[in-house]
Structure 1
Amino acid sequence: MTGTHTTTAPAAETRWRPHAAVLALGTFAVGTDAFVIAGVLPSIGAELHVGVAAAGQLVSVFSIAYAVLAPVLAALTASWPRRAVLLTALGVFALGNVVTALTPGYGLVLASRVVAAAGAALYTANASSTAAALAGDRQHGRAIAIVMLGLTSSLVLGAPLGTAIGAAWGWWATMWFVTALALVAGPFIALRLPEVGGSGRVGLRQRLLPLGDRRVLRVLVGTVVVFTGIYVPYTYLSAIFADATGGDGDRLALLILLYGVAGTVGNFLAGHLADRLGPRRVILAATLLLTVVFLVLPSVRGTFAAALPAIAVTGLFSFSVTTPQQHQIIALAPESRSLVISLYQSSLYLAISLASVLGAAGLTAFGAVWLAPVAAVCTLLAAVLTWRGGRE
């Protein structure tokens, strides 16, 4: 038995935008949770009586759990109606954050981040694939870009607001804030999102068949490589631009804000261009331009005036990759949308973890000035993988 789409073709062509915007509410909550923890790490460490490094493991545990659980949960829920999956995901995500806010012990807080990551992983992959299904083949890129707007806006608005709430009322208040965002998104999805059926009762082995497609694997490998490159300089932004900011937190916050705003613009442009020119061309252009930017970055990182346009261009091209990649991987396995997007999300979060480790090693061994060139090697390799994929 296979699932059915209850939306009609005209609805997919003309009325998908409000539905994608509803889905973006959930990605805003998920993105805020992922980004805001870094802003409240010192207070988490102080209250749980652990160092900042130990508190930082909350980020690592979340990322690793997300990467591992995304494809597993996508396979287990493949036959469910998409609205039920999305609401369940938000419920699990909210539960994880409630436990984080209420738990006094470090070990249980770590466990609660696994629960929150499970909900986040299940939600994000299904939000992108559902939006693509509603929009139709010709507008995949624009639909995914709107859903990803929730992610980029969480960097610009959600994370700073959550950090401010944590500074005023404590880090646990930040967790309640994230929970509230998820609970606000739920009713909109329940009441406004059209029903989209699952793909029927198929075994786990069949669900994983896309992994046997070399083209799918190439996209996933390219995702790991390019986002490792993107997140190495972003994770250690404060070290790279230490001379430009002079240790001023306000200047650093402005750089992060500018990065997020530019990323939002890049995400929208990439979505439109992917629909018009094809996703591979957009990915290739973005990765090559990022390579140039990262190679130039060491020479402009010393002054704040030069850092501003440098960080804007970096954000613009960094967020020009994710929407075309999702567009591309859906086109390769349209009958397994949710699964391949979940594999894509796993690859992305694996890259975040690798970037943290690689960046720390590079910072210790060579200093901050070499982090951007290391990132350039990754983005250039991703460009080569993308180019070779188009020739087969």
Structure 2
Amino acid sequence: MDKRLIVLASGMFAIGTDSFVVAGVLSQVSTSLGVSVALAGQMVTLYAISYALLSPVIAAAAAHWPRKRLLLTGLAVFVVGNVVTAVAPNIELVLASRLIAGLGAAMFSPTATATGASLVPPEQRGRALAIVIGGLSSATALGAPLGTFIGGALDWRATMWFVAAVGTLAGLGVAWRLPEIPTPPAISLSRRLAPLADTRVLLTLLTTWMVYAGLFLVYTYIGLSFDRATGGDSRVLAALLLLWGVAATAGNFAAGRLTDRYGSRRIINAAIAVLVIDFALLPLTSASLVTAVPALIVWGVCGWGVLVPQQHRLISITPAAAPLLLGLNSAAIYVGVSMSGVIGGAAIAWFDRHALGLVSAVFLVGALFVAEWARQRIARPEVRPTGVVGATSGSAR
């Protein structure tokens, strides 16, 4: 295992902790600042939308920066954003600080995944991506539950200080262990967005968006959705998040090996199909701790099992544009996350909070159809403007 991948994963762990821990303390934020849970949930929305919109812009503007400097700067901005969240006296400043933290994530995350993919031969790319993304999924196994527990034992501000400390430690690890990495050729913003004109890429990104919008509809409001199972106890919620995170980490690493062996299509379709069933049953399975446990295990394994084959599929479409495509995929994830906060908040107002799983299932069914549509387009040879027929590797199928 390349130690450089572990260093990159440590930064992803910090980014992931911030992404997932807020859901565990939303009720505390709501009470502390005197706002509704739905408004507090926009902390997730603004963090995600900042990341999604700024990722391609930052990638173009900082294209001439050395990779290590960009990674460290991103973590520094990320830490500042979380410190501001921890000391903010009102919801307005809290929400503004989420934009700052999202900017830091936008600088770090796509750079880390693209760098990880470039460090290994093509036949090991799935496992390399799994290691780097493993930092993100392991944050669900350790960072988010620990942050939620800290919030329950102290308060939500202590949780945000914890996230800032994790980001600081990750920055020290990157500074100490990651060697200088060659700066890739500078690419303009228009060229970075050019892959969106490729229907195969667009459909694959749409699949990512629909999957993670569906998953985070429930996750953002997991404290409310699973209140019957937790009895409102933050310690039980932290334990459930720990279980979910362990399952997510296992699913992520298993997906890396399975994608290298079987290709992306089987893994993507199987994972999404199982998620549809799991989320459709959530109104029932979230009612008690006994049934909530297996539901969260399936959610973790399959939800994170989709990410690696999706990235692998994108890289297989146009290997030379891998950094651009991975950045767009990360943006698609966070656009989905940002919209899930809004859609989930509306669904809570319109329907019962325990029915969020059904809304998620609708998104996941759509994702399954779009994923197969993408596969069909990928299977067709693309005729280039020059008249050259572009080939696609079988692993993309």
| TM-score, structure 1 normalization | 0.87
Partner in structure 2 of residue 232 of structure 1: 217
Per-residue deviation at 1:225? 1.0
Percent identical residues: 45
1:190 and 2:175 are equivalent in the alignment: yes
Alignment of 1:129-208 (within 5 A): 129-168=114-153, 170-208=155-193
Contact in 1 for aligned 2:38/2:345 (Cα 8 Å): no
- RMSD across aligned positions (CA): 2.5
Mark the CA change 1:289 to 1:41 in structure 2 (over 3 Å): closer, same or farther: closer
Deviates more, 1:371-380 or 1:83-92: 371-380
Contact in 2 for aligned 1:79/1:197 (Cα 8 Å): no
Per-residue deviation at 1:193? 2.1
Per-residue deviation at 1:103? 4.3
Q: Within 1, Cα distance between the matches of 2:37 and 2:225? A: 20
Partner in structure 1 of residue 41 of structure 2: 56
Mark the CA change 1:175 to 1:366 in structure 2 (over 3 Å): closer, same or farther: closer
Alignment of 1:269-308 (within 5 A): 269-308=254-293
Partner in structure 2 of residue 67 of structure 1: 52
Alignment of 1:71-150 (within 5 A): 71-150=56-135
Partner in structure 2 of residue 26 of structure 1: 11
Contact in 1 for aligned 2:45/2:342 (Cα 8 Å): no
Per-residue deviation at 1:319? 1.0
Partner in structure 2 of residue 216 of structure 1: 201
Per-residue deviation at 1:200? 1.4
SS at 1:135 equivalent: coil
Alignment of 1:250-329 (within 5 A): 250-329=235-314
- State the Cα deviation string for residues 268-288 of structure 1 (Å, max 9, x = none): 111111111112221111111
Per-residue deviation at 1:60? 2.1
- State the Cα deviation string for residues 125-172 of structure 1 (Å, max 9, x = none): 111111111122111111111112222222222123223434555444
Partner in structure 2 of residue 380 of structure 1: 365
1:352 and 2:337 are equivalent in the alignment: yes
- State the Cα deviation string for residues 228-264 of structure 1 (Å, max 9, x = none): 2222233343444444444444443333222111111
Mark the CA change 1:311 to 1:337 in structure 2 (over 3 Å): closer, same or farther: same
Q: Within 1, Cα distance between the matches of 2:189 and 2:346? A: 38
Per-residue deviation at 1:267? 0.6
SS at 1:391 equivalent: helix
Q: Within 1, Cα distance between the matches of 2:177 and 2:53? A: 31
Mark the CA change 1:107 to 1:295 in structure 2 (over 3 Å): closer, same or farther: closer
Which ranges in structure 1 are unaligned for 5 or more consecutive residues?
1-14
SS at 2:119 equivalent: helix
- State the Cα deviation string for residues 49-107 of structure 1 (Å, max 9, x = none): 65554443322221221111111111222233322221111121122223333444543
SS at 1:199 equivalent: coil
Partner in structure 2 of residue 361 of structure 1: 346
Q: Within 1, Cα distance between the matches of 2:231 and 2:95? A: 34
Deviates more, 1:192-201 or 1:214-223: 192-201
Which ranges in structure 2 are unaligned for 5 or more consecutive residues?
378-397
Partner in structure 2 of residue 6 of structure 1: none
Mark the CA change 1:301 to 1:40 in structure 2 (over 3 Å): closer, same or farther: closer
Mark the CA change 1:191 to 1:214 in structure 2 (over 3 Å): closer, same or farther: same
Contact in 2 for aligned 1:210/1:333 (Cα 8 Å): no
1:338 and 2:333 are equivalent in the alignment: no
Mark the CA change 1:80 to 1:322 in structure 2 (over 3 Å): closer, same or farther: same
